[in-house]
Structure 1
Amino acid sequence: MPLLTVTDLRGRALSPAYLRAAMPRPELDVDAALEAVRPVVDAVRERGAEAVLEASERFDAVRPPSLRVPASVIAAALDGLDPAIRAALETAIERVRAVDAAQRREDDVVEVIPGGVVRQRWVPVRRVGLYVPGGRAVLPSSVVMNVVPAQTAGVPGIVLASPPQKDHGGWPHPTILAACALLGVTDVIAAGGAQAIALLAHGADDLGHDLADDLGQGGRLDPVDMITGPGNVYVAAAKRLVRGTVGIDAEAGPTEIAILADATADPRFVAADLISQAEHDPLAASVLVTDSEELVGAVEAELAEQVELAPRAELIREALAGRQSGVILVDDVEQGLAVVDAYGAEHLEIQTADAAAVAARVTNAGAVFVGSYSPVSLGDYAAGSNHVLPTGGSSRFGGGLGVQSFLRGIHVVEYDRDALAASREAACALADAEGLPAHGRAVAIRFEGPGGSDR
């Protein structure tokens, strides 16, 4: 029995609205999750650390010895790290830093008229909270993908939160802590889920019994200005609740891969890449868009073989069989491009003839992986790109995490008297047109009276 449901769109006139409705999507009800997490977020805002610790006992089945992880625990995690994993993390850090270095912005200066200058300063966010989940999988790569662009942007204050682990003495997973050590992140909080998001957003005057007063901050945690990082639906709901109090990167949904492929694609590669996303979560989306029925049959045959060999076979089957996954048959690659643009996948692979030319025409995707030897899993770890990407079709209006995510553009306006005089007529005319005469007066008064008469 095929694992993937086939939707045949061949021979149809497809509007963008129809395509968005026809695309496979997970059932993800953030609104319902809001009601579950609201009491947690409210409790953390009102009672601080004690509410976080209570939530940790309830949801993580462990009460961490301290919310702030001691420097000695972080250092020990790095000392105990497998050398191969350390080398892999160092490779990932080096490559992401290389890509991020090219994204740094210089201040822009424009002389609009003689004596009238507008500068755009790029200023890093003062303090960010980075969230790294710790549920079905340990994700040290997410430490790299969140921390490196923030550091490259020049963010002066970074605090990272990750759930306490019952099997590791109530601290976050040692591999997460080791990644923090490699990156020089010393402010690490043992908290997960909605309670971690609330703690980052609201801070706490007293973190309770704090074994980690290495930073000279006592038990206090200052609130952050922005929160980034992936998480489950409860993390997404908590982000929605604190948005406005802090900035957020996105309300991340389940991970997605879409593959646009034609008859030239290798079905082994296509199947392996669909499986690689499906192993994340039962709600993970794996979507194949193709004009080749023969490829569909070959991919299904490969799935039947490869899934059986996968350690997470049952989870993968559930994800592939879910309503969020499937095959979409199209007339040709041209129609396939319209389909993947309507879908706006977090990860989009192009496995077609002349893949680079096809990829250059894509307008909606979190990241595009071109050709047979650029799998999504390379981007997850070692390509140098960032894997914190928009999900649920939000790539239509947003992009992935990067240096720019942590920078704010501030316009600085500096006009001298002659430049303001040359702008007076336009400013006053528009002020009058908008019925705001005091706006015009604020310009005109500078040229009236003893200190400002036209001279």
Structure 2
Amino acid sequence: MKLFINPDKSSWSSLLKRPTQTIGDIETIVKEVFSDVAKNGDDAIDKFTSKFDGVSLKTNIVSTEEIKNAVSKVDENLKSAIQLAKSNIEKFHSAQKTEKVFVETMSGVSCWQEKRPIQKVGLYIPGGTAPLFSTVLMLAVPAQIAGCKEIVLCSPPNKEGNIANEILYAAQLCGVTKIIKVGGIQAIAGLTFGTESIPQVYKIFGPGNQFVTVAKQLATQFGVAIDMPAGPSELLVMADDSANASYVASDLLSQAEHGADSQVILVTTSKTFAEEVSVEVKKQLEALPRKDMAKVSISNSKTIVVNDFVTALDLIDTYGPEHFIIATENDDFFIENISNAGSVFIGSYTPESAGDYASGTNHTLPTNGFSKAYSGVNLDSFQKSMTFQKISKEGIQNIGNAIELMAEAEGLQAHKNAVTLRLNDLKTN
């Protein structure tokens, strides 16, 4: 990790830049795939699966028999762990349910708000170097709690033409209604336009590489909503010399091993502590099975030493991390003042991996600084807030004149007439 000591604020923008390609670098291929899938449906899906995943499939729909076979192969201890995680995720997301909001704004004028589920959702589950069955829990559990009718899961097949057993186990456990063996850009395009095998959905969820991120953003141009622009994973740790250097190093590496384009940052008020963490990172890195990938990520990562917590907070809010770990002698300062972070992990015994798997919070979070404006996935992500209103005879008489005056002032006579007709009828009856 590159070390920076008290960098001038004017350099923060370049210092905190993510190691990602610009959209322009990959937008052309994303548009080509979208155009082909829109025109040629499953034929295009099959072509790109062969090209990008190196496998030709007789069918890309996962059968009931495949799911049963996969379930039987998952280790029983792992099943128990997945069930524990599912239980915690259910508890946290069920607690997010809200009651109907009802108010009489004035006599005879009733307004209320109710939540309704998004009927058709698509869940993208990355495969690649690490099939993320935990993401199935994070997306399918709240979708099921929200009451979504169609929950379509897409995940890339491996070289044998299969989806990881653990992904299929988690999917059937959480009420997924259809599973498709398709990944990358073509999966997002399929969910956007619909094909013979892939249902068109109203909203697409899930993390992915930079190609998937750009594909999701392109999907919005065709009337499909997305959860957020979630790209390569990232972590920022704020620690001082009261923290445990080996713990901090392990947290940094836990994110670095996600992929070569992941980024981790350590912000600290102690140069000595920074050096201790650096030694620990090198030591722990050598023992990792995915060390080659993690090394690339670490080379794109930074340690930043600042003078005080106030400067640290300013820098962290400027970066807007996806994951934010606090391990200091005064955690409350950051808890109370942080504005931009996807999910916050507090204290020496709260590793980021707890949120990735089993504590109950959701791990599908905004990256690339989008935490400045986006929330992570939650129960509301799978619902719409619908407003209702009902006005009585008394109500329209109370509010009608105000509507008439406002409509006339805006030059919208038909709007005024819709009220005037009713008021005149009430006067004559």
Bucket of the pairwise TM-score, normalised by the shorter protein: over 0.9
Q: Is 1:319 aligned to 2:319, yes or no?
A: no
Q: Which amino acid letter does the alignment assign opposite residue 191 of structure 1?
A: V
Unaligned runs of 5+ in 2: none
Q: Is the 8 A contact 2:30 2:215 kept in 1?
A: yes
Q: Is 1:183 aligned to 2:161, yes or no?
A: no
Q: Which amino acid letter does the alignment assign opposite residue 453 of structure 1?
A: K
Q: Is the 8 A contact 1:273 1:376 kept in 2?
A: yes
TM-score if structure 1 supplies the norm length?
Answer: 0.91
Match of 2:202 in 1: 225
Q: Is the 8 A contact 1:356 1:371 kept in 2?
A: no
1:12-411 aligned within 5 A: 14=9, 19-167=12-160, 170-204=161-195, 206-207=196-197, 221-243=198-220, 244-322=222-300, 325-411=301-387
Cα RMSD of the aligned pairs, angstroms, is 1.6
Q: Is the 8 A contact 1:77 1:178 kept in 2?
A: yes
Q: Which amino acid letter does the alignment assign opposite residue 20 of structure 2?
A: E
Match of 2:427 in 1: 453
Q: Is the 8 A contact 2:246 2:280 kept in 1?
A: yes
Q: Which amino acid letter does the alignment assign opposite residue 151 of structure 1?
A: Q
Structure 2 Cα separation of the partners of residues 312 and 284 of structure 1 = 13
Unaligned runs of 5+ in 1: 208-220
Q: Is the 8 A contact 1:132 1:229 kept in 2?
A: yes
Q: Tell me the CA shift for residue 338 of structure 1.
A: 1.2
Structure 1 Cα separation of the partners of residues 316 and 63 of structure 2 = 46
Q: Tell me the CA shift for residue 320 of structure 1.
A: 1.0
| Deviation string, structure 1 residues 148-176 (Cα, Å, up to 9, x no partner) | 11111111111101111113xx1212221
| Deviation string, structure 1 residues 187-221 (Cα, Å, up to 9, x no partner) | 101111111111111112x33xxxxxxxxxxxxx4
| Deviation string, structure 1 residues 29-56 (Cα, Å, up to 9, x no partner) | 2232120121211111111111111111
Q: Tell me the CA shift for residue 285 of structure 1.
A: 0.8
Match of 1:215 in 2: none
Report % sequence identity. 36
Q: Tell me the CA shift for residue 28 of structure 1.
A: 2.5
Q: Which amino acid letter does the alignment assign opposite residue 277 of structure 2?
A: V
Q: Tell me the CA shift for residue 145 of structure 1.
A: 0.6
Q: Tell me the CA shift for residue 114 of structure 1.
A: 1.6
Q: Is the 8 A contact 2:144 2:174 kept in 1?
A: no
Q: Tell me the CA shift for residue 21 of structure 1.
A: 4.7
Q: Which amino acid letter does the alignment assign opposite residue 159 of structure 1?
A: V
- Give 3-state SS (helix, strand or coil) of 1:230's partner: coil
Q: Is 1:6 aligned to 2:9, yes or no?
A: no
- Give 3-state SS (helix, strand or coil) of 2:286's partner: helix
Q: Tell me the CA shift for residue 20 of structure 1.
A: 4.2
Q: Is the 8 A contact 1:128 1:227 kept in 2?
A: yes
Q: Which amino acid letter does the alignment assign opposite residue 308 of structure 2?
A: D
Q: Is the 8 A contact 2:229 2:370 kept in 1?
A: no
Q: Cα distance 1:340–1:445, how it changes in 2: closer, same or farther (>3 A)?
A: same
Q: Is the 8 A contact 2:234 2:322 kept in 1?
A: yes
Q: Which amino acid letter does the alignment assign opposite residue 235 of structure 1?
A: V
TM-score if structure 2 supplies the norm length?
Answer: 0.96
Structure 2 Cα separation of the partners of residues 307 and 154 of structure 1 = 43
Q: Tell me the CA shift for residue 238 of structure 1.
A: 1.4
Structure 2 Cα separation of the partners of residues 7 and 454 of structure 1 = 80
Q: Is the 8 A contact 2:152 2:199 kept in 1?
A: no
- Give 3-state SS (helix, strand or coil) of 1:360's partner: helix
Q: Tell me the CA shift for residue 67 of structure 1.
A: 1.6
Structure 2 Cα separation of the partners of residues 441 and 28 of structure 1 = 55
Structure 2 Cα separation of the partners of residues 59 and 269 of structure 1 = 38
Q: Tell me the CA shift for residue 263 of structure 1.
A: 1.4
Structure 2 Cα separation of the partners of residues 282 and 436 of structure 1 = 57
Structure 2 Cα separation of the partners of residues 163 and 224 of structure 1 = 18
Structure 1 Cα separation of the partners of residues 134 and 389 of structure 2 = 41
Structure 1 Cα separation of the partners of residues 21 and 354 of structure 2 = 27
- Give 3-state SS (helix, strand or coil) of 1:110's partner: strand
Deviating runs (4+, > 3 A) in structure 1? 18-22, 451-455
